Each structure stands twice: as C-alpha cells, then as structure tokens.
Amino acid sequence: MNINATLIGEAIWFGVFIWITMKYVWPPLQKAMADRQKLIADGLAAGERGKHELELAGKRSADALRDAKAKAAEIVAASEKRAAQMIEEAKLAAKIEADKVVLSAKAEIAQQVEQARAELRGRVADLAVAGAERILRREVDARVHADMLVALKQEL
C-alpha cells in the first residue's frame, strides 16, 4: 500500500468525470425524463377527457336521434294531412270543371236545336210554297206573294 502521485491523477480523473456528468449527462437526461413524464401525464389526461367526451357525445347523439324521430313523425303526419287536403281540393276543382263542361255542352245543344229549328222552318216554308205553287200554278205569282210567304215563315 504505497500512496503516491497516482492519487492526484485519480482525483483529477474523478473531477473530469464529475464535470462531464454534471454538464453533459445529467441535465439533458433529466430534461428528457421530465418531458416524457409530462407527455405521459398529458396523454393520460387527454385519454380521460376523450372518454368523458365520448360519453357526452353518446348522450347527445341519443337525444338528437330521439328529436329527429319525433320531428320525422310530425312531418309525416303533416304531409298526410296536406295530401288529404289536396285530394279534397282536387275533387272540388274537378267537380266545378265538370259542371262547367256540362253547362257549356247544354248551351251548345240548345243552340244547335235552335239552329236546326230555323233550318227546318225554312224548308217547311219552301215546301209549302212549292206545294202551293203546284196547286195554284196558273193564278198565283210567286213574286207577288213573296211578302206574304215571308210573313208566314215568321209565324212558323
């Protein structure tokens, strides 16, 4: 066991290594570990928050679904009502239109009847004149008696 200058050399080595550790090893490692710890803690907190939010979202979506169902039922009922109303309206309009058509047809018929009657009247008058002409060939002059025949036509 001989103590000598090696001791000083070892103390210097020791100092150098303490310095390296203090300056280049410990601070970055400490920072990395602290950062990671924070990262993990944040991650866990975020996970917890996400779980909570999922729960809330589930609740919200159930609510929304219920609302939507109610609204859809409402819309269906309203549209059914509206459809019935429209059918009624259409029926009414159709009836009015039909009445109108019937009315105009009737008027036309009446007009045609009138026309036919007038035509008939003319023929009958011609016929009567022709008959009378045959009977009265000699003494009757058509030109003289035309006025009388027109008067007769008006009476028919």
Partner 1 sequence: MASGEALTTSGYIVHHLTNLTAGHGFWTVHLDTLLVSGLLGLFCFVGMAKLAGRATSGVPGKMQALVEMVVSFVDQQVKDTYHGKSALVTPLAITIFVWVFVMNAMDLIPVDFLPVVAGGLGIHYLKVVPTTDPNLTFGMSLTVFVIMMVMGVKVKGVGGFMHEVFTVPFGAKLAPLNLLFRIIEDIAKPISLSLRLFGNMYAGEMVFILIALMGLWQLPLALPWALFHILIITLQAFVFMMLTIVYLSMASESHG
Of 33-41, 69-77, 81-89, 144-152, the window that binds partner 1 (rule: CB under 8 A) is: 33-41
Per CB under 8 A, 102 contacts partner 1: no
Count other Cβ atoms within 10 Å, centred on residue 83.
10
HSE-CB of 150 using CA atoms within 13 angstroms: 4
Per CB under 8 A, 1 contacts partner 1: yes
Of 27-35, 99-107, 121-129, 146-154, the window that binds partner 1 (rule: CB under 8 A) is: 27-35
Total binding residues toward partner 1, as defined by CB under 8 A: 33
Per CB under 8 A, 45 contacts partner 1: no
Cα–Cα distances in Å, from 22 out to 9, 29, 36, 37?
20, 11, 21, 21
Per CB under 8 A, 7 contacts partner 1: yes
CA atoms of 22 and 24, how far apart (whole Å): 6
Considering only residues 10, 74, 114, 119, which one is a binding residue for partner 1 as defined by CB under 8 A? 10
Considering only residues 13, 48, 80, 127, which one is a binding residue for partner 1 as defined by CB under 8 A? 13
Per CB under 8 A, 17 contacts partner 1: yes
> For 16-45, b where at least 16 C-beta lie within 10 A, e where not — what string?
eeeeeeeeeeeeeeeeeeeeeeeeeeeeee
* Footprint on this chain of partner 1 (rule: CB under 8 A): 1-11, 13-18, 20-22, 24-33, 35-36, 39
